[in-house]
């Protein structure tokens, strides 16, 4: 396996890690006003579940984009310049969410916290939707031109807003948003106790079926873009993981349910990058403009140096993040604890999660 292919796999792994880990952060942010309702203690418990890890999860995005810049500069330039508006929306959303998570605690009055909770939800929703749309457009392809004829590394994306808002890309945004909502709800069911835990579990149980439906539709549309390959098997496994998450929730196995939703999101990412390879940015105007792993990669010396750096520092980063998850592994409780075997709102009794 040559270095460009290895670094394409590395970029795919980094994006997959980001989507899985940041996915439940986005889900919690979108759900905090729903599952926390009007009880401040419940919202504190929900946000406290991601408090120690949300900023660390964003490191995966920095690493993914940095790897793209260093290993495939033409891909990085075409993607971030051609998709300038969506990427700008993502950055604004991440800023809003980060500021909201930090500033909501600066004052104790409820209106102040309610406004920041709203911005946290908005700052989670926008990136969740836009990243799905961006990845779908990359796999589908975009209109391009060559800024310097004869050079495949000078590909310029000429997509308009209408080109980006195609049906497949919009479905991709809906799917990532839905998956992150489910992933976040399962994470809250796993990491909290009391009313938030039961509301999150109830939400997740109701969401599994519609999330499975839209995910299968998007996976089918993605597989139809290219010739059948090994990604078909991964797509089936991703769908099976979502179904398994529903079964695990019914059995009260929240840890297994969270593992299943993580596998479903990871499977979706694998299908997207698997369908993309060996191209990086398909051109819908002229196949000769298509960026590939071969024609967009950096020089072998650059890739070699990057490989040594990654070999040294990547285990350290993974070790530190694993340690932080281990340290903050315990559940957080709200002000009130629902009776065992029932929801806190008097709904029909459900088996107490284990």
Q: Check residue 288 and give its pLDDT.
A: 83
Q: Render the burial of 295-306: b for 16+ CB within 10 Å, e for the rest.
A: bbbbeeeebeeb
Q: Check residue 352 and give its pLDDT.
A: 45
The runs of H, that is alpha helices, within 224-336 are 231-250, 254-276, 300-327
Is residue 19 within 8 A of residue 176, CB to CB? The reply is yes
Q: Check residue 333 and give its pLDDT.
A: 65
Q: Check residue 345 and give its pLDDT.
A: 41
Residue with token string 């209106």: 111
Q: Check residue 145 and give its pLDDT.
A: 84
Blockwise average pLDDT, block size 10, the chain, 354 residues: 93 96 95 79 86 89 94 90 91 94 85 90 96 95 76 72 92 98 96 89 96 97 91 96 96 94 97 95 88 91 92 88 85 50 39 44
CA distances (Å), 45 to each of 36, 192, 195, 237, in order? 8, 7, 10, 33
Instruction: Look at residues 68, 57, 65, 67 and name the one whose alpha carbon lies nearest to residue 87.
Output: 65
Contacts of 183 (CB under 8 A, 6+ apart): 20, 23, 24, 27, 258, 261, 262, 265
d(CA 12, CA 175): 19
Question: Helix, strand, or coil here: 96?
Answer: helix
Q: Check residue 38 and give its pLDDT.
A: 64
Query: Domain 3-329: which CATH class?
Result: mainly alpha
Q: Check residue 148 and give its pLDDT.
A: 63
Q: Check residue 82 and give its pLDDT.
A: 85
Q: Check residue 344 and give its pLDDT.
A: 41
Instruction: Report, in angstroms and rounded to the nearest whole number, the Rg of the chain calculated over CA atoms.
Output: 21
Q: Check residue 330 and give its pLDDT.
A: 81
d(CA 59, CA 72): 19
d(CA 200, CA 188): 6
CA distances (Å), 209 to each of 171, 242, 256, in order? 16, 9, 17
Q: Check residue 336 and give its pLDDT.
A: 43
Contacts of 91 (CB under 8 A, 6+ apart): none
């Amino acid at each position: 396996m040559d270095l460009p292919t290895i670094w394409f796999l590395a970029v795919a792994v980094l994006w997959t890690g980001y989507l899985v880990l940041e996915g439940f952060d986005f889900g919690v942010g979108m759900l905090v006003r729903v599952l926390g309702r009007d009880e401040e203690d419940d919202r504190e418990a929900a946000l406290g579940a991601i408090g120690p890890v949300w900023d660390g999860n964003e490191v995966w995005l920095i690493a993914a984009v940095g790897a793209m810049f260093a290993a495939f500069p033409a891909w990085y330039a075409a993607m971030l310049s051609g998709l300038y508006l969506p990427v700008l929306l993502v950055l604004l959303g991440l800023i809003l969410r980060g500021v909201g998570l930090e500033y909501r605690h600066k004052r104790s009055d409820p209106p102040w916290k309610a406004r920041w909770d709203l911005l946290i939800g908005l700052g989670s929703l926008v990136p969740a939707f836009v990243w799905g749309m961006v990845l779908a457009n990359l796999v589908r392809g975009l209109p391009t031109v060559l800024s310097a004829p004869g050079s495949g590394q000078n590909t310029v994306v000429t997509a308009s807003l209408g080109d980006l808002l195609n049906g497949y890309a919009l479905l991709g945004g809906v799917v990532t948003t839905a998956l992150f909502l489910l992933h976040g709800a399962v994470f809250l069911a796993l990491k909290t106790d009391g009313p938030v835990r039961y509301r999150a579990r109830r939400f997740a149980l109701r969401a599994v079926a519609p999330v499975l439906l839209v995910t299968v539709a998007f996976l089918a549309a993605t597989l139809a873009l290219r010739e059948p390959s090994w990604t078909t098997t991964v797509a089936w496994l991703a769908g099976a993981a979502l179904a398994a998450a529903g079964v695990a929730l019914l059995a009260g196995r929240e840890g297994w349910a969270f593992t299943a939703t993580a596998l479903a999101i990871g499977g979706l990412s694998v299908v997207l990058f698997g369908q993309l390879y060996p191209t990086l940015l398909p051109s819908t105007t002229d196949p000769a403009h298509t960026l590939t792993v071969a024609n967009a990669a950096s020089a072998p010396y650059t890739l070699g140096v990057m490989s040594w750096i990654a070999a040294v520092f990547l285990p350290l980063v993974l070790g530190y993040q694993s340690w932080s998850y281990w340290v903050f592994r315990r559940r957080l409780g709200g002000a009130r604890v629902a009776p065992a075997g029932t929801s806190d709102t008097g709904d029909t009794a459900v088996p107490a999660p284990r």
